[in-house]
Structure 1
Amino acid sequence: MNRRTAPATPADLVLTGARIHTVDPALPEAQALAVLDGRIVWLGPDTGAADWTGPDTELIDAGGRLVLPGFIDAHNHVRLGSDGACVQLAGVRTLDGIHERIRTWHAAHPDAGWIEAEAFDYSAIPGGRMPRAADLDPATGDTPAFVLSYDVHTAWLNTAALRRLGITRNRTSLPFGEAETDPVTGEPTGFVKDFAVKGLSRDGHRALRGLGVPWAAPDRQYGRLAKSLDDAIGFGITTVVEPQNSLDDLALFERARAEGRLRSRIVAALFHPRGTTAADLDDFAAAARRFDGDRLRVGPLKLYIDDVVEPRTAALLEPYAGCGHHRGETFYPAEEFAGLLAGLDARGFQCFVHATGDRGIRTVLDAVEHARTVNGPRDARHQVVHVECLDPADVPRFAELGVVACMQPRHCAPEIAGPGQDWAENVGPDRWHKAWPMRSLHEAGTVLAFSSDWNVAEMDPMVGIYTAVTRRPLGGGEAWQPGETVDVGTAVHGYTMGSAYANFLEEERGSLTVGKLADFVVLSRDILRAAPEDIPGTVAETVVVGGDIVHRAS
């Protein structure tokens, strides 16, 4: 749109000197844009910008830099962390290294009532087994220790914590997870599965708080949220989809908004664990009506059909490599889940379903197909979240059923999931071709919504885009399954318009288009033209949300 006559009202903000990649095929590029009352009112060449400029108009000279729509992170656990009060275990690949980090922290905090740590990597445990309390005890002594895996799907406790939390051979089904037991002695090992499914639920959090675990305290939760929100806006993420919340958690977002920390827009999905009642669904629907603004919206439901590949809890069609007949379990029998999803679909809920294994993913697709048969087709935009190990026969079903693939490109990096890592070894080489098939899904017409899955992986969209384009390690090296890379334009679309569409936001976000919200980012490097290895390290120099400059890189 390039008006030849001056507008009646000058713009609040005018951006010039840019290479604007709009992600709008109707006007793919522009040099300048104007913003009035939080929305884009004009895009065009630099020569037209003066018509929109008045004495009070704020000016941004992009200096020839690339401007993109603000990134929409379609799956970002901003409430989870990371937590500055925890021992940080990211990058530690040996048990000795874990002991050293914990001992160093404990020496600096000798009066701590709990030792809490996060981001332990399964590969740090010798022999490919799962961790045990006896592995923690030498570094923690009699102080209870609560350690979360990097994917927050499992917890690792020492002997003192088992006692403190009341976990015994007769009490292993817990409000916050399922405690594993030794197959010989029957005693709890210290490893707790299903933490993401139960421990992050409303009941799980309340149980942990009642047992005195500091990590679950509201102030600690808010500290994690506030820090993560600051990080998000610094990376140019102007909309965050927080995928798993209880009704209790909504107060944290309200506090962040009241304290000026909610600079990114939020879409908050509500967790639907097993046992959710019709009354709960009524409460969820009421919350969606209450929180329906462009800054904070509540509505989608988060469900799980399986867990994760690394501890062999994802549901596979064939057994795990080297594990006999074990192929993981779904949290619901297929028929029950199909009925559940059909009921939610009938009530108009959009569902985000965590599914990583090929059998888990197929179970979800079958359920969506059943819902469409029972209820009739509708624009539901149900999402399969993660899509880590997908059977080729199910690739075309995403587009056929209108299912969005919400994927996290960084998860498929060779140093995280490739040969020699737990993911690849558990799946086995014969199934590596099923790993994160982004290109196959895209070519089949699937809507890709890209995201970070923070704090499981880095929040920075540049890291995700680089991995989607190269499938190489972050520091360079050989690509893993390079046939499933996508081009940089497709990756950017996944972080903008794809994620907007996935969340029913395409009418107001995802592209730079007249009438849409003025959410955009000025990047330090033109990632559409740069060599792939130069994409990481690109920074968001200026971030604008609703026409307000909310971040400038220092």
Structure 2
Amino acid sequence: MTTSTGGDLAIVGARLRTLTGENETATALLIRDGRIAALGGDAEIRAAAETAGIEVRDLAGATVTPGLFDSHTHPHWAADVTAGVDLGGLGTIAEIREALAAEHARLPEGAWLRGWNLEYEPFEETGMRGDVLADAAPGRPVALVCYDLHTGLGTAPALAAAGIDGAREFDDASEIVVDADGTPTGELREPTAYQILFDAAPAPSHEVERDGLRDMFRRLAAAGLTGGAIMDGKDRTVELLAELEERGELDHRVTVHHWHAVGDTDEDVARVIAAKDRAGRLWDTGAIKLFSDGVIDTGTAWLHTVDACGDGRVPFWPSWERYAEVVRAYHDAGMLIATHAVGDYAVSRVLDVYATLPERPGVPFHSIEHLEVLADEDVEQLKGSGITASMQPLHMQWRAADHSDNWTVRLGPGRDATGYRVRSVLDAGVGVVLGSDWPVAQYDPRLGMAWARGRHTPGDPSAHVFEPEQRLTGEEALLAYTLWPARARGHEDRGTLAVGSVADLTVWGADPVEATPDELVETPIVLTVLEGRVIHEG
């Protein structure tokens, strides 16, 4: 990783994807004080740079695009969650036990064993139970979280350390799952429940937490990302961002969506609103994240009709009227609201609430996050709503061509075709932005774009294509990571290569629009540039 100082740079010898419809023949650009000062031919820009004593990078045929922005991500959370053992791709309980046993042997006595990326399919016969894993790490607290961050799993020592000894009532739809006799099984549904478990584990030091977030941002830069919307913001997140920027170690442009919990009071809302204008050079905080439902896999998504297990008709909020009150308060305060809505009915009900909000001239409208399944009537309701649809087609990676995956089975026969309808949403005139939901799915935007365009496993042209009619074009996928998220947040100086635009750039080894989805995931990231600073060099 190479980090330059200052914000002046010249790039020549490149193809520029300006996304403005202008300067399409330009091959070079000049950056002064973190902003694009000129676009033109190589000789012109080189001469201007040399006169001003500015470094010139000859990129010999690379393609420059505006910097990529992940519209739904959790880097602060990920820095903590991914500190454990990665259980992704382990398809049986025996494989999971083997991985936990190896980690158990490595850890010192008394340490907690943490794991992430756990999948649901291995537990189809037993149910999500901690006791089926207990012998992998005898006596040691084991705390795991599923890949979607909606379910935790703990063994008996971990549950005991956290004081989890029975069912509890929560303000939201979270649940400590118990047996018939009231004994916890180890399954903890939704964050309010499983956070009790993880809060009991030893916390990292301030320095470890801060440096972990710094290093996480640098990992994102290596994949071409220059910024993102943090969807689980808290006061601690803001404090760390401010400290990193003060230390000159913040290499990411961030919007922090404060996570509003269902149980938050009017006083909590007022406190968040009072701090809404807190910002730095590279970060701001005037945004909110709420949940309307959970996920398909656990039966907590809010659906028009019940799923195959008879679930799916319960919202995350005991009082939907309270959700509407909270949304109105944040709306009136001028904040940008993002609401998680996976189920089709959840999308419809959120749209109902958003439709009651008064206009705010000059202020961008709100988003719905995921829109994972949509009935035709929901697509119709989206028309003219003014919302931004923040979607993640790469979450289709857990689907199976034979319909045997947990998501499809749980949703019910024939309903998988209503999933990830990004083309339908776009054709309905709705603004679309793409993201990863990292660490739910991989943060690499090349994967995100490839799934949106190909709707099959990237790198395998023979792989099954899910709903091919829902594919995006190469240009649309790029726009959904650049210009469209900038516009959705009201930024006129981001998401394009134009004079006056912020010089956040992603430099590719080949044109990401012309590359096939299968080629895209292997396309090198040559440079990642933030405000004219090279924050990654491949």
Would the TM-score normalized by the shorter structure come out above 0.5?
yes
Match 1:316 to one of 303, 313, 316: 303
Q: Deviations over 1:374-427 (max 9, x none)?
A: x67874421101110112212243341211001112112354798222111211
The SS at the match of 2:355 is: helix
The SS at the match of 2:484 is: helix
Equivalent residue, structure 2, for 1:131: 128
Distance, in Å, in 2 between the alignment partners of 1:530 and 1:244 is 34
Distance, in Å, in 2 between the alignment partners of 1:401 and 1:377 is 15
- Residue 191 of structure 1 deviates from its aligned partner by 0.5
- Residue 226 of structure 1 deviates from its aligned partner by 2.5
Instruction: Specify every segment of 5 or more residues in structure 1 that has no aligned partner in the other structure, as ranges.
Output: 1-10
Match 1:348 to one of 324, 334, 352: 334
| Stretch of structure 1 that moved more, 102-111 or 331-340 | 331-340
Distance, in Å, in 2 between the alignment partners of 1:461 and 1:408 is 11
The equivalences for 1:364-383 within 5 A come to 364-372=350-358, 379-383=363-367
Match 2:149 to one of 147, 152, 160: 152
Moved over 6 A (4+): 375-378
Check conservation: 1:398, 1:405, Cα contact below 8 A.
no
- Residue 214 of structure 1 deviates from its aligned partner by 2.3
Q: Deviations over 1:109-134 (max 9, x none)?
A: 1414311111101112133x641121
1:285 aligns with 2:273: yes
The equivalences for 1:175-190 within 5 A come to 178-182=175-179, 184-190=180-186
Amino acid at match of 1:299: G
Distance, in Å, in 1 between the alignment partners of 2:333 and 2:8 is 42
- Residue 103 of structure 1 deviates from its aligned partner by 0.2
Equivalent residue, structure 1, for 2:441: 457
Distance, in Å, in 2 between the alignment partners of 1:325 and 1:277 is 29
The SS at the match of 1:74 is: strand
| Stretch of structure 1 that moved more, 330-339 or 524-533 | 330-339
1:116 aligns with 2:114: yes
The equivalences for 1:197-276 within 5 A come to 197=192, 208-209=198-199, 211=200, 213-214=201-202, 218=206, 221-276=209-264
Q: Deviations over 1:507-551 (max 9, x none)?
A: 121111111111111111222222221111222111111112221
Cα distance, 1:199–1:352 mapped onto 2, change above 3 Å: farther
Check conservation: 1:75, 1:451, Cα contact below 8 A.
yes
Equivalent residue, structure 2, for 1:307: 294
Amino acid at match of 1:312: G
Amino acid at match of 2:305: E
The SS at the match of 1:92 is: coil
Equivalent residue, structure 2, for 1:483: 469
The SS at the match of 2:458 is: coil
Equivalent residue, structure 1, for 2:37: 41
Amino acid at match of 1:45: G
Distance, in Å, in 1 between the alignment partners of 2:189 and 2:398 is 25
- Residue 170 of structure 1 deviates from its aligned partner by 5.3
RMSD of aligned C-alpha atoms? 2.5
TM-score (norm 2): 0.92
Match 1:510 to one of 495, 508, 513: 495
TM-score (norm 1): 0.89
Amino acid at match of 1:430: G
Equivalent residue, structure 2, for 1:393: 377
Distance, in Å, in 1 between the alignment partners of 2:361 and 2:310 is 41
Equivalent residue, structure 1, for 2:325: 339
| Stretch of structure 1 that moved more, 388-397 or 490-499 | 388-397
Check conservation: 2:399, 2:408, Cα contact below 8 A.
no
- Residue 146 of structure 1 deviates from its aligned partner by 0.8
1:59 aligns with 2:43: no
1:23 aligns with 2:10: no
Equivalent residue, structure 1, for 2:487: 501
Distance, in Å, in 2 between the alignment partners of 1:329 and 1:188 is 23
Check conservation: 1:32, 1:43, Cα contact below 8 A.
yes
1:441 aligns with 2:441: no
1:104 aligns with 2:139: no
Equivalent residue, structure 1, for 2:8: 12
- Residue 450 of structure 1 deviates from its aligned partner by 0.8
Distance, in Å, in 1 between the alignment partners of 2:138 and 2:424 is 50
Q: Deviations over 1:158-213 (max 9, x none)?
A: 1112222112235465999521112x322211100111x5666xxx6xx854x3x1
Cα distance, 1:82–1:302 mapped onto 2, change above 3 Å: same
Check conservation: 2:36, 2:502, Cα contact below 8 A.
yes
Cα distance, 1:85–1:342 mapped onto 2, change above 3 Å: closer
Higher relative CO (Cα under 8 Å, sequence separation at least 6) belongs to 2
- Residue 20 of structure 1 deviates from its aligned partner by 0.4
Equivalent residue, structure 2, for 1:7: none
Match 1:359 to one of 345, 367, 370: 345
Equivalent residue, structure 1, for 2:71: 74
1:471 aligns with 2:455: yes
Cα distance, 1:331–1:221 mapped onto 2, change above 3 Å: farther
| Stretch of structure 1 that moved more, 46-55 or 526-535 | 46-55
Question: Aligned pairs, how many?
Answer: 528
Check conservation: 2:218, 2:535, Cα contact below 8 A.
no
Instruction: Specify every segment of 5 or more residues in structure 2 that has no aligned partner in the other structure, as ranges.
Output: 1-6
Amino acid at match of 1:275: G
Check conservation: 2:173, 2:315, Cα contact below 8 A.
no
Check conservation: 2:486, 2:495, Cα contact below 8 A.
yes
- Residue 149 of structure 1 deviates from its aligned partner by 0.9
- Residue 303 of structure 1 deviates from its aligned partner by 0.4
What percentage of residue pairs aligned between the two structures are identical?
A: 28
Check conservation: 1:198, 1:273, Cα contact below 8 A.
no
Amino acid at match of 1:449: V
Check conservation: 2:303, 2:313, Cα contact below 8 A.
yes
Match 1:168 to one of 165, 169, 175: 165
Check conservation: 2:77, 2:232, Cα contact below 8 A.
no
Amino acid at match of 2:302: A
1:141 aligns with 2:138: yes
Equivalent residue, structure 1, for 2:88: 90
Distance, in Å, in 1 between the alignment partners of 2:402 and 2:459 is 14
Amino acid at match of 1:419: H
Cα distance, 1:217–1:117 mapped onto 2, change above 3 Å: farther
Q: Deviations over 1:88-114 (max 9, x none)?
A: 212211111110000001111141431
Cα distance, 1:251–1:175 mapped onto 2, change above 3 Å: farther
Distance, in Å, in 1 between the alignment partners of 2:529 and 2:339 is 31
Equivalent residue, structure 2, for 1:3: none
- Residue 318 of structure 1 deviates from its aligned partner by 0.6
Check conservation: 2:302, 2:312, Cα contact below 8 A.
no
Distance, in Å, in 2 between the alignment partners of 1:320 and 1:140 is 35
- Residue 333 of structure 1 deviates from its aligned partner by 3.7
Distance, in Å, in 1 between the alignment partners of 2:203 and 2:299 is 26
Amino acid at match of 2:101: R
The SS at the match of 1:283 is: helix
